[in-house]
Amino acid sequence: MSATTPQRIALIGLGTIGMSMAALHLARENTTVDVFDTRPDFEQYLRKTLPVFLSHHLTSDVSEPDSVLPEAVVSSLISSGRLQLHTSLETACASATIVQEQGPENVAFKQSLWKQVESIAPPSAHFWTSTSGIAASIQQGEMSDKTRLLVVHPFNPPHIMPLLEIVPSPETSTERVEFARAYFSVAGSKHRPVVIKKEIPGFVGNRLAFALLREACYLVQEDVVDAKDLDTIMKASLGPRWAGNGVFESYQQGGGEGGIQAFFEKLEPTLQQVWDGQGRVNLVGNEETQWKDKVISQVNEAYGSFSNEQILEKEARLKDFVNVQTKSYGHLDTQK
Amino acid sequence: MSATTPQRIALIGLGTIGMSMAALHLARENTTVDVFDTRPDFEQYLRKTLPVFLSHHLTSDVSEPDSVLPEAVVSSLISSGRLQLHTSLETACASATIVQEQGPENVAFKQSLWKQVESIAPPSAHFWTSTSGIAASIQQGEMSDKTRLLVVHPFNPPHIMPLLEIVPSPETSTERVEFARAYFSVAGSKHRPVVIKKEIPGFVGNRLAFALLREACYLVQEDVVDAKDLDTIMKASLGPRWAGNGVFESYQQGGGEGGIQAFFEKLEPTLQQVWDGQGRVNLVGNEETQWKDKVISQVNEAYGSFSNEQILEKEARLKDFVNVQTKSYGHLDTQK
């Protein structure tokens, strides 16, 4: 079964990530989306929330108030049969070609869910989990056919952020990995799926982020810089650099003609000195856990709570960055 | 002396960073720039290179070929007296209010330079070094008045990147730190100076970058992801996130109503697990130095050498990101 043929996706758990996924799937052609969530006001919540996410997937600038789709769009999707609401897991999964879950991050819940889904979904259906922390090899504990399950980890906010980390377990079949990659790579998609070759806690994106966060907390703890100034530094240097180039691409350029090898040779003493002196703050245990209050109070003082308007502004800016990434630059048109 | 009064800046060392700094200073009103470099073809090199950097500082979109200033702009600056070329350090520094060096990253050179500059520049002149690695407290070794020197560390490419890390030594006077901060904070400047409160190897920006780079090299070494896919992950998630929000601001938002404290509580097990398992690759020593060949060969294979067109495209994109950062978003106009 090809990823571009009609698909029927059963979505289990429609919180923020699930709602964004519903919109993502509905924005494609040839999809039917079956949704199931246990919250009592599910239909009301979906009718109110889904149009916002659909707007992000279907229009170019949702920061314009007029571009948010009316709630009637949900009624139209329901009456056409493209969107189907369910009150049981059984009916939601019965005809699925893909079952995707965004439920609680809890091992027992995930294992029990997949065991049940396996018994009710068609035998060829693909099983995807949006988890950020529980590997497929753990979630599959009670499944008979462990080749069907893999992680599809989106990044916040999922309706704008292009990344999807596809993380198979050692048992996941190559065909199912390739199907997921192909599904999110369809022409016109704003999403960029990347297959991670081995399971590892935090996958890749969060491991990189948490390594930097640890050093950031250490620098605040040591009074080298305060939290707000550290954020200014990030926005005024590494953020835009890494948004345009990756990490390695930046240092390949930074090394000049000799590339990243020349960069390593030139920076060797400083780089090793920084690595040797990296902070080792901890959240758990008896050592180096005193930094937390300082970081939390500085961050609260700097930002407080974000208003809805501020969050909309952040989302609009993030969309602008993603648009810059995909913009064609005139003098290189011939290469595209 | 206020940072907004007329200044006369002696620039020592006119490589890429020095040339960008010359353009930055010349783009201001009320400045005279004295330049000194020991390369034999200095004047010819400056006449060819400076217009490109000036264009970046004076025009909004230098990716348009027509927006690069003609070489005649240099003759005009020289004939008006705003730009003065020197063949000796003595004449370059004789009337300076600021002396800024971008010479070789070598302790003996810097110490000897500042001792000499101290004996020839006016007693009130400010001394700035653009070093990325040699702290002011080391460079000042042979100076009599150690209150005058501080680091002004720009980020590559310096003509576009807004960040300047201002890093005083423990001896630098508060007034001189404030003068430097004020000088780069002038209205209309695209630069964002941040004062670092303590000297530390790598300052702040590079410490954050190198912490992340270490984990990136580890993930490639462990075959979790290849170098190019890691860059895709960065560009599709953390890059644009951190370009729009800082690190702490992102997690303050990520924690929802409870802010970064709720984020730490919710993510505690995963965060600590990732921190405990962080890679410890090294450039120097006997342990964990085998990763280098794999990283270098993957990066070379992914990118090769960059053409001038590719570098221009990268710079145009970086300018676009910086422009998005300073763009005003309609629905928040009333708050600006």
Q: Residue A168: helix, strand or coil by DSSP?
A: strand
Which pair of tokens denotes residue A86? 């369910």
Asked if B214 contacts B281 with a C-beta cutoff of 8 angstroms, the reply is yes
B contacts of A243 (beta carbons < 8 Å) = 235, 239-240, 242-243, 321
First-residue to last-residue Cα distance in chain A: 31
In terms of phi and psi (left: phi > 0; alpha: psi -120 to 50; beta: otherwise), the region of B188 is: left
| CB atoms B313 and A331 under 8 Å | yes
A contacts of B313 (beta carbons < 8 Å) = 329, 331-332
**Least CB–CB distance from A275: residue in B155, B210, B295:** B210
Which of B9-23, B56-70, B201-215 comes out lowest in average pLDDT? Answer: B56-70
B89-121 pLDDT per residue, tens: 999 999 999 999 999 999 999 999 999 999 999
B80-90 pLDDT per residue, tens: 999 999 999 99
Q: At what angle do helices A227-236 and A205-221 cross, to 10 degrees?
A: 130
How confident is the model at residue A189, as a pLDDT?
Answer: 79
* Interface contact B1, partner A, CB < 8 A: no
A206-225 pLDDT per residue, tens: 999 999 999 999 999 999 99
Give the Cβ contact number of residue A73 at 10 Å.
Answer: 18
Tell me the pLDDT band of B336, cut-offs 50, 70 and 90. very low
Peptide bond into A201 cis (omega under 30): no
Tell me the pLDDT band of B188, cut-offs 50, 70 and 90. confident
Asked if A57 contacts A28 with a C-beta cutoff of 8 angstroms, the reply is no
CA–CA gap between residue A111 and residue B77 (Å, rounded): 72
Q: CA of A185 to nearest chain B CA: how many angstroms apart?
A: 13
Q: Element (H or E) spanning B23, and its range?
A: helix B16-26
Which of A52-61, A73-82, A292-301, B19-28 comes out lowest in average pLDDT? Answer: A52-61
How confident is the model at residue B334, as a pLDDT?
Answer: 45
Asked if A64 contacts A42 with a C-beta cutoff of 8 angstroms, the reply is no
A227-256 pLDDT per residue, tens: 999 999 999 999 999 999 999 999 999 999
Give the Cβ contact number of residue B109 at 10 Å.
Answer: 15
How confident is the model at residue A334, as a pLDDT?
Answer: 44
Q: How far does CA A47 lie from the centroid of its chain?
A: 23
Give yes or no for residue B294 having a pLDDT over 60: yes
Q: Which residue has the tokens 């025009």?
A: B59
B131-187 pLDDT per residue, tens: 999 999 999 999 999 999 999 999 988 889 999 999 999 999 999 999 999 999 987
* Contact map slice: A 137-196 vs B, CB within 8 A: 155-156, 161-163, 165, 192, 194-196
| CB atoms A309 and B332 under 8 Å | yes
B contacts of A311 (beta carbons < 8 Å) = 253
| CB atoms A295 and B247 under 8 Å | no
Question: Rounded to the nearest 5 degrees, what angle is found at the Cα of A143, between the Cα atoms of A137 and A148?
Answer: 70
Give the Cβ contact number of residue B228 at 10 Å.
Answer: 18
Task: List the single residue in B with minimal CA-CA distance to A247.
Answer: B231
Q: CA of A121 to nearest chain B CA: how many angstroms apart?
A: 31
In angstroms, the Cα distances linking B198 to A142, B150, B166 are 54, 12, 10
A334 secondary structure, DSSP code: G
Percent of chain A surpassing pLDDT 70:
95
Provide the CATH number for the domain formed by B205-325 in this structure: 1.10.1040.10
A90-104 pLDDT per residue, tens: 999 999 999 999 999
- Where do the structural domains in chain A lie, given as residue ranges? 7-195, 205-325
What lies within 8 Å, CB to CB, of B41 at 6+ separation is none
How confident is the model at residue A286, as a pLDDT?
Answer: 84
CA–CA gap between residue B77 and residue B138 (Å, rounded): 36
How confident is the model at residue B189, as a pLDDT?
Answer: 79
**Least CB–CB distance from A232: residue in B194, B278, B314:** B194
A121-146 pLDDT per residue, tens: 999 999 999 999 999 999 999 999 99
Task: Give me the torsion for CA of A28, A34, A39, A45, rounded to 10°.
Answer: 40
* Interface contact A336, partner B, CB < 8 A: no
* Interface contact A40, partner B, CB < 8 A: no
Provide the CATH number for the domain formed by B7-195 in this structure: 3.40.50.720
ipTM over 0.85: yes
B234-292 pLDDT per residue, tens: 999 999 999 999 999 999 999 999 999 999 999 999 999 999 999 999 999 888 889 99
How confident is the model at residue A61, as a pLDDT?
Answer: 52
Q: CA of A93 to nearest chain B CA: how many angstroms apart?
A: 30
A contacts of B322 (beta carbons < 8 Å) = 240
How high does pLDDT run on average in chain A?
A: 93
In angstroms, the Cα distances linking B187 to B22, B25, B182, B321 are 18, 14, 10, 20
* Contact map slice: B 71-130 vs A, CB within 8 A: none
Which pair of tokens denotes residue A265? 């040779």
